[in-house]
A and B are shown apart, each in its own frame.
Chain A
Amino acid sequence: MSDEQIDSETGFIINNGINTNTTPIIKVVGVGGGGGNAVGYMYNQGVENVKFVVANTDRQALENSPVPERLLLGHTGLGAGNDPKVAFEAAQESIEQINRIFDDTTKMTFITAGLGGGTGTGAGPVVARVAKERGVLTIGIVTIPFFFEGMKKITKAFKGAMEMRKYVDALLLINNEQLLKIYPDLDLDSCFDKADDVLATAARSISELITTRDARINLDFNDVDTTLREGGTAIISCGYGEGENRVEMAIQDALNSPLLSNRDILGSQRLLFNLYYSRSAEHRFQAKEMTAFTEFVNHLPGVDVIYGVAYDESLGDRVKVTILAAGFEMSNAIGTDVITDEAYQPAADHLPSEPQADDPNIIKAMAEQYGSDRVADMEAQKARNLYAVLSVNQLDDDHIIEALEKSPAYKRTKEDKARIFRSAPRTAPEQTAAPQRGSSTTINISD
């Protein structure tokens, strides 16, 4: 790290050893711990024609990142303490430096963040907002927590996702819980890698798509832009297939993505796919194999399709399919409202508000992501913790009775519960409950 220095003016940590001859138009920005890790993973894998930046409020995390271009958000370098508000303020403070990330030839950016903590949740939306304001095609790739991480974190994550959704063209949502479902037999490390793979695959697929020159039907950045611009919830995925029905297999492989948790691709309005095969394959790619796409598209009524065919001689007998789909109608809550340019209001002073679990959109989104049964169970458990359980002495207490009547048990907050029991007057009738054993009367009959 000796040749690295933090530029005092810009906050960037510059590594002069990195230099690329091409002028990449894709930039991947990892915000916060989770986003930074994903970008680091991808950087280590080496994806061509993509530039990387990590941004964090935590100086130590930045220093540990393999990614050369780094941006410290805020001035403390101590992290956001799990508080999105702190991260938001830090990002606002560094808004100039964030702007400079997009000062180059970047036309498309992936803003990636793990949601549910501090920096990614609070600063991710700010970075997205800046990118979007610069006219960059902005794709958010975010992870939401495992179910066991609890309602509070999940709520915070969804709040962040909704905030993020306002500023990105398309949002790719990776539900960590879905990873367990799709890859139950993987070891945990590989399972986490799969989440990072989603980002790598998405960035690589797009990079590949727009840089490939060896194509029969060529796709370019404008096709990607058309598909994803104001695309709402989206998926970008890639799959491989081999043997008989290899195209269908590749499509299924692409769709077997953590991005499609409890959803299917049926609701998408815009679809782009790119088919790759090898001209030197033993089994030459046959025209009739294209019918697999016919089948696939037939399931998507009213969808706009853009497609391409390209050659990849490394595939052998395999085929590869890249799928971009956007404009999911049924992706409730997060991404329902596709924000048009007119409606788009950059809200620089807007603070992400406190997570409120009673937001019906969040509940809906949770039910969609984690299953309504489990969310209902968790809601019920939460409600149980907030039940007012009266002691015998409180059963005839005017204040408690009145407060209890006005406070439905559903979605009661801790504050509501405290209010029920607060300043409960201890008046005479209540105290009569006390002498359960104390008093006794003995009379003497014989007198």
Chain B
Amino acid sequence: MSSRTIVAVEIGSSKIKAAVGEVADNGTLTVCHIEEERQSPNFVRYGMVQNIKEVSNSLNRIIFKLTNRISPARISAVYAGVGGRSMMALKHHVGATQPDDTEITSEIIGEILGRAENIIDPERKVVEVLPGEFMVDNMKVADPVGTIGNSISTEAMVVSCRQQMLRNLQLAVNDKLNIKIHNFVVRHTAIAGMVLTDDERQLGVMLVDFGAETTAVSIYKDGFLKLFVTIPLGSRHITRDIMSRGYSEERADEIKRTVGNAMPEPAESNRLRHEGLIDDSEINNLVAARAGEIVINILERVKDAGLRSAEELLRGIVVTGLGANLNGFTTLLENQSGVTVRRAAMPATVRRGNSRIRLSSDDIDVVALLHHLASQPTRECVVVPPPVVEEPEVPDTVAQDNDIDSFDDDDVEAVGGKRRSFFSSWKDKIKNIIDPQDIDTSDESFDD
């Protein structure tokens, strides 16, 4: 069997991460390596790359570490997760008419969804188009492919962001590091795809990604995305508020993480002060107020999505993101919304390439990118330098593969057992790359 190697990078306001995954033919994802670096606060603002040089330096170190692990292969291209301020979904009605008795095909649907990309503001760039409920000849149809009708339409959700967000990413990754960005992946919808169940999407659920500087919120109901916006408030606002009391950024962050509480008990604050953990009993008032402001902004979206109240979210709220680690945050959200709140979990179907990989809930974002890509036609992200001399013997390569754990067990077995030449497995990958189903077929992805 063959597999694809994909690399996803995730440039967030607090961390830069990159992950290498293997996707088997059956779509099973194996996460092979994850590397990350913490970000200085001003390099990425509200999810948008601000300091191209620093971000590319940081990413370069991460890519270097990953390259060491997958040597002799090297990373030539990545998929980049995007999210942050300006990223949101706008509803757009698209439709087509056709002669009577035309069978609706996925091509037709692809075509009408594709049309949605062009209607947006020139300042913005469409990253993803998600279908809404389809109407075929004015009848609601759950899955229109294969039905007959002469008109088809849908309220497509067009996910777009400022052009600048993508441009800056291109500058940091492509221009500075000479690594091609195959495509952009909307981080939030990727996470939704991984951590929400169909059942939840059907009955109503809100996904909250409480990040460092932004909080992405989406609402699903009746099986479709109803709303997706990015609120320009995040966990770092709390840190900054604490800093306003005369603490350094580092100390403020520590206070937030250790004793900060979104629902402080006055007695608790006093106790902490007595124990010398904080010297300012007002700290938690600051934390609670900002957390409250964030929560109210999150819950305001219920109305925006056209729901009467949060109670229509029958499956409650799912939270993810580092910000959600704040003590008392989920309880506050639960109290204010009146619905259950659960933490997003890494699905069991995601496999680990080796025991060194710890897949914690903190990695949900970058793993979700791989997870999303695994279900899509993707192009190869790594190139292995072709052997200089025709070298039919392969034991070396096998040994190497074993050492670096870059391929999953199946692959190693395949190489060891059938003694396939390295090149033959490489050929599969090329085949994969030039798969006509690819989103963008115009580029040569391994020329460099």
Contact = CB atoms under 8 A, between A and B. Distances in A.
A400 B286 CA distance: 20
A381 B140 CA distance: 45
A409 B289 contact: yes
A412 to B, nearest CB: 8
A181 interface: no
A151 to B, nearest CB: 14
Interface residues of A, number: 41
Contacts of B88: 392, 395-396, 433
B90 A396 contact: no
Contacts of B94: 440-443
> Which of A400, A401, A404, A408 is most buried by chain B, counting CB atoms within 10 A of its CB?
A408
B97 A439 contact: no
B39 interface: no
Interface in B408-424: none
Interface residues of B, number: 52
Interface in A350-364: 360
Interface stretch (A272-280, A310-318, A372-380): A372-380
Contacts of B241: 408-410
Contact of B121 (A380, A400, A429): A429
Interface stretch (A27-35, A239-247, A283-291, A382-390): A382-390
A442 B97 contact: yes
B223 to A, nearest CB: 20
Given A410-B286, A439-B93, A440-B95, A432 B120 contact: yes
B111 A445 contact: yes
B292 A387 contact: yes
Contacts of B304: 392
A298 B240 CA distance: 50
A387 B237 CA distance: 14
A401 B46 contact: yes
Interface in B69-109: 85-86, 88, 90-99, 102, 108
B121 A428 contact: yes
A446 interface: yes
Contact of A405 (B111, B120, B237, B264): B237
Interface of A: 360, 367, 372-373, 376, 379-380, 383-384, 387-390, 392, 395-396, 400-401, 404-405, 408-412, 428-429, 431-433, 435-437, 439-446
23 contacts: A373-B266, A383-B293, A392-B229, A395-B229, A395-B232, A396-B85, A396-B88, A401-B85, A409-B293, A410-B241, A410-B282, A412-B289, A429-B86, A429-B121, A432-B90, A432-B121, A436-B91, A440-B94, A443-B96, A443-B115, A444-B97, A445-B98, A446-B102
Interface of B: 46, 85-86, 88, 90-99, 102, 108, 111-112, 115-116, 118-121, 123-124, 153, 160, 162, 229-233, 237, 240-241, 244, 264, 266, 282, 285-286, 288-290, 292-293, 296-297, 300, 304
6 closest Cβ contacts across the A-B interface? A410-B289, A440-B93, A409-B289, A408-B241, A409-B293, A432-B121
Given A408-B290, A410-B290, 14 more contacts: A383-B293, A387-B297, A388-B297, A389-B297, A389-B300, A392-B88, A401-B85, A412-B289, A439-B93, A441-B94, A444-B96, A444-B98, A445-B102, A445-B111
